[in-house]
Structure 1
Amino acid sequence: MDILFLALALVIVLQFFKRREQQQRVSLLGSYLAPYQIEQQMERLLDGYLRWLGEDDAERRAQIRGMLDGVEQSLSGQFARFAADVQAMPAPLAQVSKLALWIPFAQPLLPGRLLFDVRRAFAIHASGIEAMVRREDTPDAKAQAYALSAELLLMQHTCHWYCRGWAVASARLLARHKTPHAQVLASVSPRTRADYLALTGRR
């Protein structure tokens, strides 16, 4: 009985510190995101792509596409500024565990090979989003919309990974967008995928 009680007490204590650590990260990342409307514009863009692809009237489809062009430009610019702002984040707070599960107190003790710098990850995402908006590699509008959607979902996954851990981020991606992490990663540009894998090691 004593062992069970101690085990339960340990679980409760670890959960408390886990939530506290995660909330600190949510607050920190939120402070960098606060000046921007990145999440709102991302949702607007993803919903707009569905409307555009489902529209039968050619004139209306062109109108929607024109509106989406403006949202893409705004979102790309805002995320580039956010990624630049995040470079001021203190290095110890920018480290992210590559482990699937969040372990309280573990992050400062992990060796460098089990960590990555989220500032570098956001720079990769900013570059990938900008390239897709400029249609450097995907001149076809539908292919560009699909690839840019993947770039945005991978970026959102990184935000959740930083705040909650890889497993929770992947579960949220699947629950919200019905898309597994592996599919998103396969759908971004080859440059984003190569840089992301080199940094995080996560497929």
Structure 2
Amino acid sequence: MDYLLPLAIALAAGCWIAKTKVQHQRIALLASFLSPYSIEKNIETVTQGYLRALGEAEPGRREQVLYVLRGNEQDLCRQMGQLADDVASADPEATRVSKLPIWLPFALAFAPSFDLREALRVHARGICRAIEAEGAASPKDRAFAITAELLLMQHTCHWFCRSKAVASARMQARHRTSHEQLAAAVLPQTRSEYLGLVALARSA
């Protein structure tokens, strides 16, 4: 029985090395597609701008801040569509994402999965839909919907690179928002398409 502990340590080390290698490969793959774009910078500008605008007591000042953000919003819509088109050219085996909450070795060989390429298409459509909904919602509701769409897209990217559990923990820590809250806050069409793609059994 003395060999069991060294064996367990060796297995754990092997799993950690394998996980680190896979995660680095996925981060590098996604970064290679994101590098031509300013998506992350625009997300930060837009979300911080919404907080500033909605904190303004003066309606005219609020509208002025929101107007300035229109260019960033249009850039996000355009660049997300281009990113989804770019990622569509990736190897299908490299863009599969396990629906299991945690990373497991060889999970993609036996666990349900979804395709990052299709997920990014869902997010691109949702983000543009929310941005273009000028007359369908109040400025506050519109900003809330766009922010939810953007954060849910970021969650999917972290899920692809790490795992669902890590992506959800990061979203909770940074934005005090759960994965379930994000899925509930996006536009109904996005939510239907998204949950149809990533849901495991009846769970989001």
TM-score bucket of the superposed structures, by smaller chain: over 0.9
Structure 1: gaps spanning 5 or more residues: none
Cα distance in 1 for residues equivalent to 2:63 and 2:39: 24
Higher helix share: 1
- Counterpart residue number, 2:75: 74
Cα distance in 2 for residues equivalent to 1:10 and 1:142: 51
Cα distance in 1 for residues equivalent to 2:121 and 2:47: 21
For residue 137 of structure 1, report the CA deviation from its aligned partner.
7.8
Contact 1:83 1:123 in 2 (8 A): yes
- Counterpart residue number, 2:33: 32
For residue 71 of structure 1, report the CA deviation from its aligned partner.
1.2
* Superposed CA RMSD: 1.3
Contact 1:128 1:189 in 2 (8 A): yes
- Counterpart residue number, 2:194: 196
TM-score scaled to structure 2, two decimals? 0.94
For residue 120 of structure 1, report the CA deviation from its aligned partner.
0.5
Matches within 5 A, 1:43-192: 43-107=44-108, 109-110=109-110, 114-135=112-133, 138-192=136-190
Structure 2: gaps spanning 5 or more residues: none
Contact 1:76 1:126 in 2 (8 A): yes
Aligned length: 200
For residue 8 of structure 1, report the CA deviation from its aligned partner.
1.2
Q: Structure 1: which amino acid aligns with 2:110? A: L
For residue 4 of structure 1, report the CA deviation from its aligned partner.
1.3
Contact 2:101 2:163 in 1 (8 A): yes
TM-score scaled to structure 1, two decimals? 0.94
Cα distance in 2 for residues equivalent to 1:138 and 1:2: 66
The alignment-based identity, stated in percent, is: 46
Cα distance in 1 for residues equivalent to 2:87 and 2:178: 27
For residue 181 of structure 1, report the CA deviation from its aligned partner.
0.6
